[in-house]
Amino acid sequence: MSSFTSPDFQLTVENSTKALNEMKIHQVLPIPENYHLWYTYTGDYDLSLTKVIDKLIFDNIPIDESVSKKLYQKFFSKDDEKKAINQAGEGFKIEITKLIDVLKDASKNTSGHTTSLANHLDKLSDFDGANELSDIIKLVLKDVEKLNSQSHKLEEQLEKSSDKIKGLESNLENARIESRTDALTNIGNRKYFDEKLSELIGVINTEQNGFSLIISDIDHFKKFNDTFGHQIGDQVLKIVAHVLKNATSSIGLPYRYGGEEFVILVPNSKLEEATTLAQTIRQVISTKSIKNKNTGQDFGKITMSFGIAQFRNSDSPASIIHRADEAMYLAKDNGRNRVQLETDLSKDESSNMAMQV
């Protein structure tokens, strides 16, 4: 056996050790789901998950077994969708089985009627008089009626099965849409965003059409929750989602990335076009304020900070998200309620170096 240890192996061991240490610190059982969650966190494989856990730690919120379970369900579990798909699949199988049985019966009956008709027709050449002919014709008509009856039965069963299959398809489609929609804001959720981003990168790598990614964050969102309660915070999230949906209706796809963060995919766009869109949204948002309709209490204005990155041929989902995220944090550092581009990051670094010199 070789004594050489690859860097990937060493990194895996280090991340595994870190994950187990974190689970021990937070008193979380080392079951597969928890290991998956904490290994992803310690390895920084999911920026959104990292942010959520870091915030929980910063706010001194215990990340116990219960919280770990909720985090796993949010970021990794697809049980609800699998359940819906399995139920729909079982329904399809039942209906298809019924349909096959009916077709088999119809085939057997038709075959029997055809044979019977052939026998009756053979007798036509042997008749001696009208009475015999009349009897044979009656028998033929009787078999034809049987065929018609069986045909109608088949049609009715096909129609019923078709209706049920359409219903199952509709249920499956509704389940698919629901699993990709954020329940509070009614726009795409993080899971849907991840799928669309990967899909977009795959299409671009073959068709060479660029796109931009906008990441935005509600400024001082914690203040809304802490000062006025989560109901007001939820109203802020709904207002922001509504503005994003209207502003991007024909040029982009908005998603709630998590917490107070939203992302927008802008297909076939350059930084300049995405910047125009982000500035428009920023200006509209800044005109919005939350008020109590009954008392007239003003809860304050809403502002957002934006970061934008443009797809590069070498990009993975994580790399373009990272650049847009860094640009967004630069907007926060520079006073909030503003738009920063990934190209501003290098300028900011150069400026800092010049100040140090």
Confidence of residue 152 (pLDDT cuts 50, 70, 90): low
Say whether 265 sits in a helix, a strand or coil. strand
Rounded distance between C-alpha atoms, residue 264 and residue 196, angstroms: 11
Report pLDDT for 293: 72
The gap between the terminal CA atoms of the chain, to the nearest Å, is 52
Confidence of residue 165 (pLDDT cuts 50, 70, 90): low
Residue 343 exposure: Cα atoms within 13 Å on the Cβ side: 8
What's the token pair of residue 157? Answer: 């069963």
Lowest mean pLDDT of 82-91, 264-273, 343-352, name the range: 82-91
Residue with tokens 């640009």: 327
Query: So what CATH class is 190-356?
Result: alpha beta
Residue-wise pLDDT for 130-140, tens only, equals 466 556 656 76
Active site residue 199: no
DSSP annotation string for 302-317 = --EEEEEEE--TT--H
Say whether 76 sits in a helix, a strand or coil. coil
The answer to whether the beta carbons of residues 40 and 49 sit under 8 Å apart is: yes
Residue 354 has pLDDT above 90, yes or no: no
Residue 351 CB contacts under 8 Å (≥ 6 apart), including other chains: none
Residue 109 has pLDDT above 70, yes or no: no
Report pLDDT for 2: 41
Residue-wise pLDDT for 190-204, tens only, equals 989 998 998 888 876
Out of 22, 95, 260, 261, the active site residue is 260
Residue 4 has pLDDT above 60, yes or no: no
Say whether 43 sits in a helix, a strand or coil. coil
Locate the DSSP E strands across the chain: 211-218, 253-258, 261-267, 289-291, 298-301, 304-310, 339-341
Confidence of residue 5 (pLDDT cuts 50, 70, 90): very low
Residue 294 has pLDDT above 90, yes or no: no
Lowest mean pLDDT of 40-44, 114-118, 257-261, name the range: 114-118
Q: In what order do the strands lie in the sheet with 261-267?
A: 253-258, 261-267, 211-218, 304-310, 339-341
Please name the amino acid found at residue 152. Answer: H
Report pLDDT for 16: 84
Q: Identify the DSSP state of 338.
A: S
Rounded distance between C-alpha atoms, residue 325 and residue 308, angstroms: 8
Report pLDDT for 170: 73
Residue 160 has pLDDT above 60, yes or no: yes
Residue 307 CB contacts under 8 Å (≥ 6 apart), including other chains: 214, 215, 216, 323, 324, 325, 326, 327, 328, 329, 330, 331, 339, 340, 341, 342
Residue 217, strand partner residues: 261, 305
The answer to whether the beta carbons of residues 265 and 203 sit under 8 Å apart is: no
Lowest mean pLDDT of 75-79, 209-213, 281-285, name the range: 75-79
The answer to whether the beta carbons of residues 70 and 80 sit under 8 Å apart is: no
Rounded distance between C-alpha atoms, residue 40 and residue 58, angstroms: 19
Lowest mean pLDDT of 2-16, 43-57, 340-354, name the range: 2-16
What's the token pair of residue 352? Answer: 């800092």
Rounded distance between C-alpha atoms, residue 171 and residue 28, angstroms: 37
Give, in order, the Cα–Cα distances in Å from 129 to each of 117, 122, 138, 141, 143: 20, 15, 15, 19, 22
CA 314 to chain centre: 25
Residue 162 has pLDDT above 70, yes or no: no
Burial 270-300 (b: 16+ CB within 10 A, else e): ebebbbebbeebbebbeeeebeeeeeeeebe
Residue 326 CB contacts under 8 Å (≥ 6 apart), including other chains: 307, 342, 345
